Amino acid sequence: MPIEISDVLLDQLTSSIEQKDNTAILQLLGDEHHADIAEILEDLKLEEATYVIKLLDSELTSEVLMDLDEDLREKVLQNLSAKEIAEELDELDTDDAADMIAELPEDRQKIVIAKIEDSTHQADIKELLAYDENSAGGLMAKELVKVNENWNVLTCVKEMRAQAEFVTRVHSIYVVDDQNRLKGRLSLKDLLVTSTKTHISDIYIPKVDAVNVNDRGEDVAKVMQKYDLEAIPVVDDEHHLLGRITIDDIVDVIREEADRDYQMAAGISQDVEADDSIFRHTKARLPWLFLGIFGGMGSAAIMGSFEDLINEHAVLFFFTPLIAAMAGNVGVQASAIVVQGIANGDLKGTIGQRLFKEFLLALISGLALAGFLFLFTFLWHRDLLTSIAISISLLVVIIVAGINGTFIPLFLSKRGIDPAIATGPFITTSNDIFGIIIYFWIAKEVIGI
């Protein structure tokens, strides 16, 4: 069961820390999961959290550090010596160790790496730090179990036992040749039921999904999701086996990508969290808010050019917010579906086919809404031409907004730009302007002023 983080527990822990009662501290934390301990530390002061971190055994401390909030972890690491950090890194898999070191200032990274006693672990971490953090190389861990195709089953089992000591969880057994090129994977069942003298080359499965070390993390996530994989090997251009990526790392990629897209769709131009400073929040939000105000100014200027029409038919003014809102809503709906399809990799057909489908959807919705609005307007105002003008405008605006909301993210994606920026304020503002122009132009043509 998860630990219950109550005020009583926090008070007892704080009191024990003040009295430096290490025994009481360890009893309070007991055998709790490292994720629960990390959550408790986030409710303590920095000095108190650091004290507990130093008290725990190294293996547990390393796991707790990885589960801490990034900002708190950064502050805690500042309070640890290079030797203390290196001791924690020795307990972590290479991918987690590289992630933690990457959060340190560059000059301190070199000092900490030099303090790592295991030379192989040290070299692996250096290799991972050389890759882009958003690439397969930046996500992979060096720990894995691999066997040579020329070994027999008996040798294979001995080697696997030695390798498994350094691997937290064995997802797959990879088969390589003498040049360390990935050849396939090995079934544990086949290994158990086969004669000890049989060569691995006779029983391994040649089909194995792999990703290139330079592939984007998002692309790796799509492959693992498509084939329902818990782990996937990473190879270079010559197909040499370099490491593996596990599902927990991909979950982090998916969550970060979803957070980023959600914030971009809401008009936030950089990654922020609720507890970030006012300055950082302002910097992230203000650019899109300026886009909104410029869009509003543009709409006001457009309406000003139709001043005579509005003066003669004031009822048109009252429907302006409705037209603008419908344009924005339809555009956001269309773009959200397209962006989701692009992100999931399940968007089918050409741009022309997607636009035609959206045209039909917008036409059906537009006819239904325009018909309803015509009845409402005519019953309220008893002006046939004005009712026709407003309802036709709504129909055209919905069609244009739907096509616009579909085309823009598809266009951006084709140009290698994140289509998530198309949703939210960008689509809303652009469709507001198009909607106002279409509305008053059609009204002027229908009414004849």
| Tens-digit pLDDT profile for residues 347-385 | 777 888 888 988 999 999 999 999 999 999 899 888 888
Is residue 193 over pLDDT 90?
A: no
Query: Is residue 253 very low, low, confident or very high in pLDDT (cuts 50, 70, 90)?
Result: confident
Is residue 71 over pLDDT 70?
A: yes
**pLDDT the model gives residue 91:** 85
**pLDDT the model gives residue 262:** 57
Q: What percent of the chain has pLDDT over 90?
A: 29
Burial class (CB in 10 A: 0-12, 13-18, 19+), 190: middle
Kindly report the pTM of this predicted structure.
Answer: 0.66
Q: Judge: domain 278-447, CATH 3.40.980.10.
A: no
Domain ranges of the chain: 7-135, 145-246, 278-447
**pLDDT the model gives residue 324:** 84
CATH T-level assignment (fold) for domain 145-246:
CBS-domain (3.10.580)
Question: Under CATH, to which class is 7-135 assigned?
Answer: mainly alpha
**pLDDT the model gives residue 29:** 84
**pLDDT the model gives residue 116:** 92
Distance, CA of 316 to CA of 409 (rounded, Å): 32
**pLDDT the model gives residue 276:** 62
